[in-house]
Chains A and B, each alone.
Chain A
Amino acid sequence: MSMFDYDARPVTPGVVLVGTTASRGAYAIRDFLSRNGYPFEWVDAGQADAVRTVLGVAELEPSALPLCILPDGSRLAAATVEQVAEGLGMVAAPARSEYDLTIVGAGPAGLAAAVNAASEGLRTVVVEAVAPGGQAGTTSMIENLLGFPDGISGSELATRAVVQARRFGAEVLLARPLAGVSADGPGYVAELSDGTLVRGRAVLFASGVEWRRLEVPGVDDLLGAGVYYGAGPSEALACTGSRVAVVGGGNSAGQAVVRFSRYARQVTLLVRGRDLGASMSQYLIDQLSGIPNVDVRVRTQVVGVEADDRLRALVVRSGDGAEPGRLPADALFICIGGNPRTDGVAGIGLATNLAGYLVTGSDPGGSWPLPREPLPLETNRPGVFAAGDVRCGSVKRCAAAIGEGSMAVALIHQRLAEAGDD
């Protein structure tokens, strides 16, 4: 046995990814691997020595990038997330022809529902587009979740929840987004992006939200080259010694700032509102005020970016009518609000509010076919429920999502009893 268990890193080979920092495709793969906890080595295609070390040649055709070397040595040129997931054996077929409950999304709400449903004997499947954990999965430390006095990271919470759900018999299908849902007798059939069909007697949308885009010219061109949505775990180390800006006023933004302050030289939190109290938990506000390399700027917006091959600075405007100023920044993390992830719901005509969140409960806002009223958390389609951040009126907190996901299962039992064979 070796005497030195250096940093507990995996012993076996991981994935090697060769690409350019400015490549969106490479960033998507990096983010996917990182969020799924898959070890990988990033090789900048511009570094000839590093490329030669892993590939034996100094240069690669741009069309071959991003190039992914899998643990078995096989190579994927112009790799996509889907190909990498398939190559790593992460794509599994559903084990059953029909389930009692199909859960869309493996964030806190979806996984709480999966644990509760499977533990109560429901044949349960979770479909997840990217990785377990949802938005909370990228949170470095949740400190106000009941039962975790020292806090717990979002990814660790998700890991434990997946283990727990699987222990009760739930299936978790990863790496394929939902393409659509359609009616299937009294139940529903969900189609995944690769054509896989998942039949369920009931459906729970726990698909959460995605980060809202920052509508500033040039920002999207720098995605992966200094601009990131969310605060993915893969980027924290890369921020060592650098100048980081975070945009947002919620807990996710606050948690990101706390994390980056451990690595970065300077972290600046840019908040559009007048103060943080309206959107951020007090414990985080207190933490931020005590970190010397953190600067919080309220009533401040990003209005422009300066870049060459990657981000170099932000142009920010503070207060009404003030002249824009330059804020040097090596990385910008955008953690603002969120847009509901409702891809695929159009096929069954789910009602949403103006912002796109799924409407549930006694006033579903659309046609309702049954003599009874919709159950709490039930959408305007009988047997289709919503929980967590994607639901109109939800509280955007991890604990609340867990509560809704758990509560939904009791309501789903009622619906299945109504539909028969519960």
Chain B
Amino acid sequence: MTEPPAVASPDAAAPSEFDELASGEQIATAATALERNGIRPLIAATGADARGLVRSLLADGAEVYNNTSQTLEAIGVADDIERSGRYQPLRLRLYRMDREMQRREMRTLAASPGYVVGSVHALTEGGSLLIASATGSQLGPVASGAGQVILVIGAQKIVPDVATGMRRIYEYCYPLEDARARRAYGVPSGVNNILIINKAVTPGRVTAIIVNERLGF
């Protein structure tokens, strides 16, 4: 597998091919493919519409883990989950745990939430979802640990195929993410784990909301 660049510059000019919104036709193609692959597709015209869709999908009182996501922050979903009082936000619960004494409880809680809400780094026109992670902690719940998975995807993330999706991760997402991690946490990020979902076996478990806006990266 291709190694990422040794140093990711936050100012690196991002290849524009990965920042372009997909056409309506590409969105429809990806949505049809997702459905064929057992993933429920929903299409939202705006981030606000997507926020409303997420609200309608989350049951009141549900235990929800929101993955760190610029997309979720940008459209207010992170705020809904962590602050609205409608749900049990697992991030707040984990935050108050003692990292020395309660590591096992933390691992267990984070691994199997009722709902996980996040995004992806690429969606192919063939209906595959690609997610990269430095620690891998976000991938297990999406693959199988969470009861329900809701993914909000800006339409600029649609790519023709998996190979292009991989290129999007390494060439476009990684430099931006590395810069974000260094700013936010003072540590580098890394493409250390990649999850590719080609098909969802459990009917109705995974919902992908494609938003016809440029969201996240």
Chain A residues near B (Cβ < 8 Å): 1-12, 34, 37-39, 71, 89, 140-141, 150, 152-153, 155-156, 159, 163, 166-167, 233, 236, 258-259, 262-263
1/0 per residue, CB under 8 A from A, across B109-123: the answer is 010000000111100
Interface check B92, CB cutoff 8 A:
yes
Main SS of chain B's interface residues?
mixed
| A1-B69, A1-B121, A71-B83 known; A8-B98 Cβ under 8 A | no
Q: Which of B95, B100, B110, B137 contacts A37 (CB 8 A)?
A: B95
Which B residues lie within 8 Å of A39 (CB)? Answer: 92, 95
B residues near A1, Cβ cutoff 8 Å = 67-71, 118-121, 131, 138, 216
Residues B78 and A12 in contact, CB atoms below 8 Å apart: yes
B71: A residues at CB distance < 8 A: 1
If A167-B61, A259-B100 touch, whether A9 touches B216 (CB-CB below 8 Å) is: no
A263 CA / B100 CA spacing, docked (Å): 8
Residue from the list A10, A150, A167 in contact with B104, Cβ < 8 A: A150
Q: Which of B13-21, B26-34, B183-191, B206-214 contacts A (4 or more CB under 8 A)?
A: B183-191
The answer to whether B98 touches A9, judged by C-beta atoms less than 8 angstroms apart, is no
A4 and B189 contact, Cβ closer than 8 Å, known pairs A89-B85, A233-B96: yes
Most chain A CB neighbours (cut-off 10 Å) among B71, B92, B133: B92
Establish whether residues B98 and A3, one from each chain, have CB atoms under 8 Å apart when the complex forms. no
Q: Are B70 and A2 in contact (CB under 8 A)?
A: yes
Nearest A-chain residue to B137, judged by Cβ? A5
Q: How far is the CB of A347 from chain B (nearest CB, A)?
A: 33
Known pairs A12-B78, A141-B102, A259-B100; A4 contacts B92 (CB<8 A): no
Interface hits, B78-111 → A, CB 8 Å: 78-79, 82-83, 85, 88-102, 104-106, 110
Min distance, Cβ B6 to any Cβ of chain A, angstroms = 17
- A4 touching B102 by the CB < 8 A rule? no
A-side contacts of B133, CB under 8 Å: 3-5
A263 closest partner in B (C-beta): B100
Chain B contacts with A in 8-50, Cβ cutoff 8 A = none
Answer whether residue B134 sits at the interface, using C-beta atoms and an 8 A cutoff.
yes
Q: A141-B102, A259-B100 are in contact. Are A4 and B181 (CB under 8 A)?
A: yes
The interface size bin for chain B is 35 or more
> In the bound complex, how far is the Cα of B152 from the Cα of A297, in angstroms?
57
Question: What's the count of A-B pairs with C-beta under 8 Å?
Answer: 124
A3 lies within 8 A of B104 (CB): no
Q: What is the bound-complex CA distance between A259 and B185, given in angstroms?
A: 25
Q: Taking CB as reference atom, which chain B residue is nearest A156?
A: B105
Minimal beta-carbon separation of B28 from chain A (angstroms): 23
Which of B82, B119, B137 makes the CB contact (< 8 A) with A12? B82
Query: Which of B160-168, B172-180, B197-205 contacts the other chain?
Result: B172-180
The smallest beta-carbon distance between A117 and chain B, in angstroms, is 19
- A153-B98 in contact (CB<8A): yes
- Minimum CB distance partner of B131 in chain A: A1
A258 / chain B contacts, CB cutoff of 8 Å: 101
12 A/B residue pairs, CB under 8 Å, sorted by A: A4-B181, A4-B185, A4-B187, A5-B133, A6-B187, A8-B94, A11-B68, A11-B91, A12-B82, A39-B95, A152-B105, A236-B100
A167 to B60, CA, bound (A): 10
List 14 other contacts, CB 8 Å, given A4-B189, A156-B93.
A1-B71, A2-B68, A3-B133, A3-B134, A5-B137, A6-B184, A6-B187, A8-B94, A11-B91, A89-B85, A140-B102, A153-B101, A156-B97, A236-B98
Docked CA distance A89–B181 (Å): 31
Say yes or no: B79 contacts A12, CB within 8 Å.
yes
Q: Please tell me if the beta carbons of B96 and A34 are within 8 angstroms of each other in the complex.
A: yes
Contacts of A236 in B (CB 8 A): 98, 100
B3 CB to closest chain A CB, in angstroms? Answer: 15
For residue A41, give the distance in angstroms from its CB to the closest CB of chain B. 12
Known: A9-B91, A11-B73, A11-B91. A2 touches B177 (CB 8 A): yes
The contact string, 1 if C-beta is below 8 Å from chain A, for chain B 143-179, is 0000000000000000000000000000001100100
